[in-house]
Structures are given as C-alpha cells and as structure tokens.
Structure 1
Amino acid sequence: MRRSSSTVSVLHPVRKRLVPTDGTVANPYLELTIQSLPSDRVSNLYWSWSRAIFGRYDLLHLHWPDELAHASGRLQRWSKRFCLALLIFRIRATRVRVVRTVHNLEPHESTSGVSAALVGMLGAETSHWVVLNEVTPTPDRTRTTLIPHGHYRGWYRADPRSPQSGRLIVFGLIREYKGIDDFVRVFGSMPGKFSLCVAGRADDPQLAESVREAARGDNRVDLQTRFVPDAELAGMIMDAELVVLPYRQLHNSGAALLALSLGRPVVCPSSPTTERLASEFGNQWIITYESPLDPSKLADAVRRAQDGSLAGNSEPDLSARDWPKLGEALAAVYERVARCDSSHV
C-alpha cells in the first residue's frame, strides 16, 4: 500500500480546499494540521468516499468519526451507511491503519442504531490514538500520543486595536452543550456598562430561538447568529475585552486557542483541562470559575481580565503550540504506525 519508501500516504477527512475570496474554510484546525506535516515524510490526500473505499493510501486519520455517518435526509443517511460499511470492509481487507485524534469525550453528532454500530466498528479498527491533553482517556495508553492543539496565529488576522471596555464575546457554532442561551440570561442580570456579542450560527432552529428569547429586551446584546467569515470573526474578537466559553461540558477547545492567538483572555468553567491551560498560560489569560456561572462570577472574571491587561500582559506564550513541531510529532506517529506489521500499534 505504500506509495514510496520515503513517505507515508495519509487520507484526511477533509475535502480539497477551494479557497474562497475571504480565505474562510470549514475547519482551520484540520487545514493547519495538514499544512504542518513535512512533505518529505508525509503525502497528504484529501477526502472523497471513492478515494476512501478504492484509493491507495497507507493511513486513514480520523477526527470526528461520527460525522461520517451523519446526514439529515433518510436517503443520504442510508447512502452514508452503505459507504461506511464498504470503508470498514476495505480497512479490514487491506489492513489500512487508522489513526484517530480524540477531540471530545462525547461525540458532537448523536448516532444510534445502524449508524452507531458502524461508527463503533470503525473505531475498533483504530491502530493509534492522538490526544490533545493528558487527561483524555483512550482504550490503550501504550498506543496513545499527546500532541497539543496548535495556535491560530497567522491564520486569523486583524489589525491591532484596543478592546472596547466591558465588551464580551461568545463565538462559534451554537450547540446545546455550550450553554449559550443560559449565558445570555446570566449576562442580562449583570449590571453595569457591559456589552455582549454572540457570533455564530445555530443549526437547530429551536436553540437559535432560545438564544434570541434570552436576549430579547437587552439592547446591550448584539446577536450575529449566522456564519461569520474568518476575517470578520477575528475583528469581532479583537473588539472584545474578554472571550467567554460558558460550556456545560468543556474538554478541548479550539475557541480558547483562537482567543489566545488574538491576545484576548478567556473565561471558562473549571475542569481538569482548563486548569491545565491556566497553568500553561497563566491565570490572567485563562480565568476559570466553578459552575454554574452567575452575574457575580462573570463580573469578577471581567475585573481579573482588566487587571491582567493593566499589568501589561500583551500576549500569551504560545511557542509550545507552534505548528511545525506539532507536524513533526504527528509525522512520527504516522511513520511508527505504518511500519508496524501487526494490525494494531
């Protein structure tokens, strides 16, 4: 299956990027991961079902395997199930290795029945796991490698500017587990000259309405519940004094790394992973609270963020999250897995 003796061919679960005029892509993390891999060691292949089932490659690198079975329409759902079954057969028949990066403790997209069974069968073919922090569980720690989430400096760009005093922002795809509707209600109960921007679309119309209802009557809340291009989002974050991640569940967060990449502190619930972030970057950049969040805790977080700004902490040290060293580490995983003669590493 190897294309040459010097490189490992890897199929990534992202389609070939067609760069729009604003440079926005669906998931910058995946694109940055691919770009970070040394070309003399890794041959990158972009996703299509035909390539996954019939193409030549050494490794399949998965991130959110449940998305391979997710579809809205019944016909599309069964079509994906059929393709996924063929992919599992191909992996078993040709002994293609599977590497999986574990982003979440629970999948974002819920699956059940046939889809859940197929996703489970695909997961059982995993040869090696990559985790983004030390506390993520995997079935076998001897086949697990820690490679932290990289930063977004250089990808999201905005002109340097001073934030608007008292301006908060919560951004990203609006999902139930993020608790954004509850947070908007908490913000509404917080007195003072504060303002809030909510930036990101909601695929669930009922959840979107819940957010709108929570903000109704509060003219301090700017709802931008739509897809926001990367350049515009960067500007919105730079305008804010503090990024809030009021998630009901928070294990890993690309949003936190994006905020830090643009030099904005983050307030988030205390958890094993967020406390590690606070230890790595400092309490002036990662401000944690004990859930549930309330107006007094939010006001205290704003005060701490402002104190950190006055102390001259212009930007956090993200050198441990530089992409070239992360790409080298991931290439080493690929090579180790591809060299193994057994079905698992």
Structure 2
Amino acid sequence: MRIKVYPEQSGENQFIQNIRRQLSEVDGVRVEGVPLNHRKLLMRLPYDLICRSDYTVVNWLENNVCARSGKLSVLGCLKFLGLLLLFRITCKRLIYVRHNLYPHRLKSRYSRTAQALVDRATLLLTERVALSEHMVNRGYRYVPHPLYRLPDPGSLGQHCGDLPGNEYFVIFGTISRYKGIDKIVQLWGGGHCLVVVGKVGDAGYLSELKMLAKGKNVTIRGGLLSDAEASRIISGSMGVILPHDSDEMIVSGAFFYSLALGVRVYAIRNEFYGWIVRDCQFPGLELFDDAENIVERLLCDPVEPSPVDRETIKKRASECFGDEVGVASWEKVIFQY
C-alpha cells in the first residue's frame, strides 16, 4: 500500500517526519513524500495519474487562502481548491489533516468565509482527520498529534547566554501577533522573569513587544532555535505560558513540545485544552479564563509549586499521544474500523 504525505517536509517542524514515521509502522505501508514545489507537482502529474497512490495525506493546505495582508485571497482560494482536486484525482482516497479552522494570520472578518470554504471542500472531496478528539462531533476522525523527539536536556550543558539561570517562565514558538504574547508582557510585573523566545514571524510585532518589555523583568530573544536550544530553555523554566486565545486553533504544537520535556503548561481555556483536562485527565496543565488570570497566578510570591513531577507528565503524555497510540489511530483511519 502506497501512502503519500504532503508536504514531504516542513522545514524546522518535526510534525511531518513524525507522522511519516508512524504511517511507516503500519503493516504493509510504504510512505512517500509529495513535493511542496507546485511546478514539480505538475511535472509529476502524468505519472501520478497512471500510478495512483492508495492514499494521500494532506496538511496545511488551508494556509493558501490567506494573503500576506491578512485578507482572504481569491487567487489563494482557487489554489487551495485546485491543489485539493489535483490530490484527489491522483489517489484512491484523500485524507485531509485539519490543523486549524482557518489560517492564523487571517483577519477575523474573513474567518467565517474561509472556514466555510475549507469545511465544504474537505467534506466533499476528502476523509477528514483532526488532531484533537473534540473535533469528532464535527465529522472528523481523531489521530493524536505526535510527541516531539527532543535531546535530553541533562546532556546539553549550561543554560543559554543572555537568559536567566533559574526561576523564569517561558513563552516560545513563532513570535506573531495571533499568539497574544503582548497581553502577557503588558501585564507582567516584578518577581519572576518572563522569557519570550522563538522564530520571528512578524518583525513589527517583535519591536512592539520589546517596547512593552522596557523596564520589566522580561527577556525577549527573536531567532530560530535548534531543538537543543529550545529543550534547554524550556526544561530550565518553571513552566510554559500559552496565551493564544483565538478561535482558529485546533491544537497547539507548543503544548506537545512542552509535554515531551515534562514541563508544566499554563494556558487559556478552549475546547482543545478542555478535552485534554476532562477526557485525558492530564496532569501538569492549568487553565485560565484570560491573560490577566495567568499573570496573577504566576506572579504570586511564592508561586505555588506544582504537585506533578516531570516524569509523571512525560509518562501520561506517552500514554495519550505516543507513537503506539498514533500508529493504532492511523490504522483505524486507513483500514476503516
């Protein structure tokens, strides 16, 4: 059985290589990548029409509908539909993995149109998979987001240069406006340090954050992090803050990154985190109604220590989202049981 995965790689994000590894562990499956370059896709089209794959698994295709300005792109919508049709005619069954309801950077006034377009197109042309079980009642099959494979922080030596040595909380991931990082920085007072690190998705927003951080116990460092650097910074913290509260998010990659290191997470309540706490009975995740509640909780002196140790968090993460669970979930989707 041939299963193709689009895109064949996703830069610094481990997600694609992790699901390819899980799919390759399903009995009788051979996994191939689909190039991200659309010219290469068209050049391969005659061959792909003759030698159709059994499945194609598609990720992040909905990002095409958003222009750089944050508006809905007519050309991008046509591109989304065209690629979806191309994938559909070159395989026997098309699986669409839904990461977000609509692109992160899309302006809110276009969100309902974008979501409706993606909903209807994927319902008509694909078998739909989501990375959170709260989407099952919307017609999706559930496959868990794989855990990241990270270096052991204990083998990485001392902490990174200009960052505090201990007693800090961290926000990490792409530094973009939709993350709501500014709400935390604006409210942050004395006491423990706040560290913001990650790839710069919006240079203007990074400048705004640095202005807000002036005179505060806040360290901001923009730039791409290696897995070793990220592991060292996150594992050395008192916990990870996830302030993203927008409606488009289905799951958070940063959450799964934190789990792989056994680090406690403080997040704003939504359907995904509610499911994690309620159905997974997950330790090490504390939920809040808004950014103000998070800051109030973390700046109390002293911060109430977590009753959950890191090994307990990692053990539960493996039970809920490890490769064994992922492979079993893909088997159910592929063999339809």
TM range (shorter): 0.7 to 0.9
String of CA shifts for 1:201-256, please: whole Å, max 9, x gaps.
232222122211111222x3221111111111111101111111111235411211
Give the structure 2 partner of residue 11 of structure 1. 4
Q: Which amino acid is 2:323 matched to?
A: W
Query: Given that residues 102 and 131 in structure 1 are in contact (C-alpha distance below 8 angstroms), is that contact kept between their aligned partners in structure 2?
Result: yes
Give the structure 1 partner of residue 133 of structure 2. 134
> How has the CA–CA distance of structure 1 residues 86 and 267 changed in structure 2, closer, same or farther, with 3 Å as cutoff?
closer
1: distance between equivalents of 2:146 and 2:87? 29
- Alpha-carbon shift at residue 199 of structure 1 (Å): 0.9
Is 2:32 the partner of 1:45? Answer: yes
- Alpha-carbon shift at residue 82 of structure 1 (Å): 7.5
- Alpha-carbon shift at residue 78 of structure 1 (Å): 9.7
String of CA shifts for 1:186-211, please: whole Å, max 9, x gaps.
22x2x32x112111123222212221
1: distance between equivalents of 2:282 and 2:303? 16
Q: Which amino acid is 1:322 matched to?
A: G
- Alpha-carbon shift at residue 168 of structure 1 (Å): 0.6
Give the alignment's Cα RMSD to 1 decimal. 3.5
- Alpha-carbon shift at residue 315 of structure 1 (Å): 3.3
**Number of aligned pairs?**
307
Is 2:198 the partner of 1:212? Answer: no
1: distance between equivalents of 2:302 and 2:93? 47
> How has the CA–CA distance of structure 1 residues 302 and 274 changed in structure 2, closer, same or farther, with 3 Å as cutoff?
farther
Question: Which structure 1 residue ranges, 5 or more long, are not aligned?
Answer: 1-6, 18-24, 338-345
Q: Which amino acid is 1:207 matched to?
A: Y
Give the structure 2 partner of residue 60 of structure 1. 56
Give the structure 2 partner of residue 32 of structure 1. 18
Query: Where does 1:137-286 land on structure 2 (aligned, <5 Å)?
Result: 140=139, 144-152=140-148, 154-159=149-154, 165-187=166-188, 189=189, 191-192=190-191, 194-218=192-216, 220-249=217-246, 251-279=250-278, 280=280, 282-283=282-283, 285-286=284-285
1: distance between equivalents of 2:124 and 2:212? 44
Identity %: 20
Secondary structure class of the residue paired with 2:312: coil
Query: Given that residues 69 and 119 in structure 1 are in contact (C-alpha distance below 8 angstroms), is that contact kept between their aligned partners in structure 2?
Result: no
String of CA shifts for 1:115-139, please: whole Å, max 9, x gaps.
9698677535443222222322675
- Alpha-carbon shift at residue 61 of structure 1 (Å): 1.4
Query: Given that residues 267 and 286 in structure 1 are in contact (C-alpha distance below 8 angstroms), is that contact kept between their aligned partners in structure 2?
Result: yes
String of CA shifts for 1:14-64, please: whole Å, max 9, x gaps.
2358xxxxxxx5221221111112264322121223347612423221222
Secondary structure class of the residue paired with 2:208: helix
Query: Given that residues 172 and 201 in structure 1 are in contact (C-alpha distance below 8 angstroms), is that contact kept between their aligned partners in structure 2?
Result: yes
Query: Given that residues 88 and 125 in structure 2 are in contact (C-alpha distance below 8 angstroms), is that contact kept between their aligned partners in structure 1?
Result: no
TM-score normalised per structure 2? 0.76
2: distance between equivalents of 1:281 and 1:181? 30
Question: Which structure 2 residue ranges, 5 or more long, are not aligned?
Answer: 160-164
2: distance between equivalents of 1:127 and 1:302? 52
Query: Given that residues 148 and 326 in structure 1 are in contact (C-alpha distance below 8 angstroms), is that contact kept between their aligned partners in structure 2?
Result: yes
String of CA shifts for 1:303-334, please: whole Å, max 9, x gaps.
24x2426xx55431222211133123213312
Secondary structure class of the residue paired with 1:58: strand
Give the structure 1 partner of residue 325 of structure 2. 325
- The worse-fitting range, judged by mean Cα deviation, of 315-324 and 229-238 is 315-324
Q: Which amino acid is 1:128 matched to?
A: E
- Alpha-carbon shift at residue 262 of structure 1 (Å): 0.6
Query: Given that residues 105 and 136 in structure 1 are in contact (C-alpha distance below 8 angstroms), is that contact kept between their aligned partners in structure 2?
Result: no
